[in-house]
Amino acid sequence: MRQWVDSDYFPEGPDAVRERPDRFEFRRCLPFLFLHLGCVAVIWVGWSPVAVAVAMALYLARMFAITGFYHRYFSHRSFRTSRTMQFLLAVFGNTAIQRGALWWASVHRHHHKHADQEPDVHSPGLRGFWWAHIGWMTSSKNFPTNYDSIRDFARYPELVFLNRFDLIVPLLFGAGLYFLGAILHVHASVLGTSGAQMFVWGFFVSTVVLLHGTLFINSLAHVFGSRRFQTADDSRNNLALAVITLGEGWHNNHHRYMGAARQGFVWWEIDVTYYLLKLLSWAGLVWDLKPVPRSVLEEAHRLPVVPEAA
């Protein structure tokens, strides 16, 4: 039970946990069951335009928190910001309920180091589509944070605290949604919402859709799409995934050059996350957005796009 509160609690040590067989474990599946079953509560709480609008807005905002902050900042350091701002970015990303920024980034760095090779924890070509999509998250082997691979951020105690106690922010987020709905129920009853309804739509429905949208990059983006660059992995570019993930669908581009703040390498490749990061840079909240090197851009324009699908 203590590990549900303290994600770094391993009596036998994290290294021993990482040596366990990579397999489905029902105990690790419980959080996902909780989130998915919570969506069924829409049968009882109903819906309202305001609750659905909040769910959609939270999907977009938290997708940006994952793609712009968890991924492009904490995983790849594709721009710079202040220490205060990076803490706020980690808090914002934690509302997506995809664990702490340091765990997320350490897993993603490992993925790039071993993409679609045997050590990769979520390769559809090695362990099948569903394991790559969500099965790997049900294995306790993949639960400990590898702080050695994220030393650049692990030196900040406030980030380690957020990563270790990664349920604090989601609990406060859920409570805030409930109280927002309750306040609107009393003071703006014409909107037809309630605390329970806002909680179900904003917390459960929005989060589950967000979770699968994010995980599609692990699964679908290595199976369906086109390949501009002949990388050593199975990464694909996929317009549909780029739309639902605000730009992450240009996955083959990203695997060709992971350090750039931009993943849509040519003008027509929609990358909403990059556009929003540019806005933040104009506001002075982030800076030094790393560009795609000219040589890679020239390669992108020179090479034909090869349509491929599994």
Instruction: Find the helix or strand (DSSP H, E) in which 309 lies.
Output: strand 306-309
Q: Under a CB-based contact definition with an 8 Å cutoff, are residues 173 and 95 in contact?
A: yes
> What is the model's pLDDT at position 300?
81
pLDDT at 306: 64
- For the chain, how many residues are written? 310
Distance CA 148, CA 231 (A): 26
Q: How far is CA 86 from the centre of its chain?
A: 16
Distance CA 219, CA 216 (A): 5
pLDDT given at position 2: 79
Give the per-residue pLDDT at 310: 44
pTM for this model (two decimals): 0.95
Count CB-CB contacts under 10 A for residue 166. 24
Digits of tens for pLDDT over the chain (310 positions)?
677 789 999 999 999 999 998 899 998 899 999 999 999 999 999 999 999 999 999 999 999 999 999 999 999 999 999 999 999 999 999 999 999 999 999 999 999 998 988 888 899 988 899 999 999 999 999 999 999 999 999 999 999 999 999 999 999 999 999 999 999 999 999 999 999 999 999 999 999 999 999 999 999 999 999 999 999 999 999 999 999 999 999 999 999 999 999 999 999 999 999 999 999 999 999 999 999 999 999 888 876 666 654 4
What confidence score (pLDDT) does residue 127 get? 87
Contact 255, 231 (CB under 8 A): yes
Q: Which of 6, 199, 170 is nearest to 92 (CA)?
A: 170
Question: What's the pLDDT score for residue 251?
Answer: 97
> Which pLDDT value is given to residue 145?
96
C-alpha–C-alpha distance, residues 197 and 288, integer Å: 42
